[in-house]
Amino acid sequence: DLPTRVRIHEVGARDGLQNEKATVPTEVKAEFVRRLAEAGLTTIEATSFVHPKWVPQLADAEQLYPLVADLPVALPVLVPNERGLDRALALGARRVAVFASATESFAKANLNRTVDEALAMFDPVVARAKADDVHVRGYLSMCFGDPWEGAVPIPQVVRVCKALLDMGCDELSLGDTIGVATPGHVVALLAALDEAGIPPSVLGVHFHDTYGQALANTLAALQQGVTTVDASAGGLGGCPYAKSATGNLATEDLVWMLRGLGIDTGIDLGRLVATSAWMANRLGRPSPSRTVRALSHE
Ligand code: HMG
Ligand code: MG
């Protein structure tokens, strides 16, 4: 059975642009976010309040956020710690995301912490956000495979998911950071989570497309009852602290599939494709999205 509605969590402006070699001017980022909203996306991850030395591409978060804050869409932002939360709250952010790892190697590389030290760092962030009625998403990276550790045992993923929910996260996003998941693995993980008392209704899926499996993995997740899907306009994306990560599932490819399945998203595919083609132009290389290439006439 498939859901009748799917919520797309657009990550192009954050996951996409965090990984670009060239730094995109703040005004171009703001226009990107505005055009995504005009194309009908309703949840658009805007930026990250992380250490500017760790992700220089998003060092302009203070300048960018006010330029998009008045858009009538949800604008979640990443915050790794209380310093990040302070910065986000000072600008009026109402949705934040912490980002944990299922593996020790990536926790160290991405957060300079062990898995449990990172969870301890998030604890006061989530508590303070919830006390302020701010919505909190908990990302979990390396849910399937890790570039240093190989295949990631499912119980290890379940443990950190539980910890994030116990902490007070409103929803989780299961990250296939390096894009190695296949549909059978997705079904097995969702089944194990369900058995552990974590239903698909609190889960989103976040697939990178390294091996071309992102759309197949998404369909498998939808069939298991997941209704929140992360995607990136034009297939932008990657992770600067996981070398083998490529772009996310392209929002256009997702919308094309959902349209064919009769699942409404409220997204104007033509406008979205035009936005990604415009962004690809600014970045100086073609979009990796097959749907963008098929539908753009530039
Ligand atoms: P650290 O070096 O351990 O930092 O980095 P620290 O806590 O020791 O603090 C050192 C200094 O940094 C202090 O300054 C802090 O104030 C400052 P000092 O007192 O020395 O002058 N500082 C900050 N400044 C501004 N904003 C902040 C901040 N925090 C500390 N928020 C830290 C630890 C977590 C900060 C660092 O590792 C970091 O910023 N990591 C972010 C990495 C990142 O953004 N990765 C990409 C996002 S995750 C992802 O892409 C995966 C995802 O897409 C899902 C998937 O695909 O799997 C979500
Ligand atoms: Mg990602």
Q: Give pLDDT tens digits for 265-282.
A: 999 999 999 999 999 999
Q: How many CB atoms lie within 10 A of CB 235?
A: 28
Proximal ligand: closest to the CA of 174: 1
Sign of CA dihedral 63, 30, 65, 174: negative
Active site residue 143: no
Residue 1 pLDDT: 87
Distance CA 174, CA 184 (A): 15
Residue 248 pLDDT: 95
Strands 145-146 and 150-151: antiparallel
pTM: 0.97
ipTM score of complex: 0.98
CB 88 within 8 A of CB 81: no
Pocket test for ligand 1, best of 51, 55, 178 (most atoms within 8 A of CB): 51
Residues paired with residue 231 on neighbouring β-strands, in sequence order:
10
pLDDT band (50, 70, 90) for residue 237? confident
Position 139 pLDDT exceeds 90: yes
Q: Give pLDDT tens digits for 57-78.
A: 999 999 999 999 999 999 999 9
User: What is the average pLDDT score of the chain?
Assistant: 96
Question: What proportion of the chain, given as a percentage, has pLDDT over 70?
Answer: 97
Ligand 1 atom nearest the C-alpha of 110 is 42
* Ligand 1 binding pocket includes 141 (Cβ within 6 Å): yes
CB 210 within 8 A of CB 184: no
Span of 102-106, 227-231, 287-291 with lowest mean pLDDT = 287-291
* Ligand 1 binding pocket includes 81 (Cβ within 6 Å): yes
Position 298 pLDDT exceeds 60: no
Residue 9 pLDDT: 98
CB 102 within 8 A of CB 156: yes
Distance CA 110, CA 19 (A): 13
Residue 238 pLDDT: 65
Residue nearest to atom 28 of ligand 1 (CA): 51
Average pLDDT on 123-132 reads 98
* Ligand 1 binding pocket includes 110 (Cβ within 6 Å): yes
CA 7 to ligand 2 center in whole angstroms? 17
Burial class (CB in 10 A: 0-12, 13-18, 19+), 195: exposed
* Ligand 1 binding pocket includes 122 (Cβ within 6 Å): no
CB 129 within 8 A of CB 109: no
In this structure, which residues have their CB less than 5 angstroms from ion ligand 2?
A: 15
CA 264 to ligand 1 center in whole angstroms? 37
* Ligand 1 binding pocket includes 112 (Cβ within 6 Å): yes
H helices within the chain, ranges in order?
26-38, 61-68, 82-90, 104-111, 115-131, 154-167, 183-195, 214-223, 251-260, 269-283, 290-295
Distance CA 113, CA 266 (A): 40
**DSSP code per residue over 5-68:** B-EEEE-IIIIIGGG-SSPPPHHHHHHHHHHHHHTT-SEE--EE-S-TTT-GGGTTHHHHHHHH
pLDDT band (50, 70, 90) for residue 240? low
Residue 134 pLDDT: 98
Which of 132, 199, 128 lies closest to 162, judged by CA? 199
CB 174 within 8 A of CB 189: yes
Burial class (CB in 10 A: 0-12, 13-18, 19+), 92: exposed
Distance CA 137, CA 168 (A): 9
CB 139 within 8 A of CB 179: no
Average pLDDT on 150-164 reads 98
Inter-helix orientation angle 26-38/269-283, to 10° = 170
Average pLDDT on 193-204 reads 98
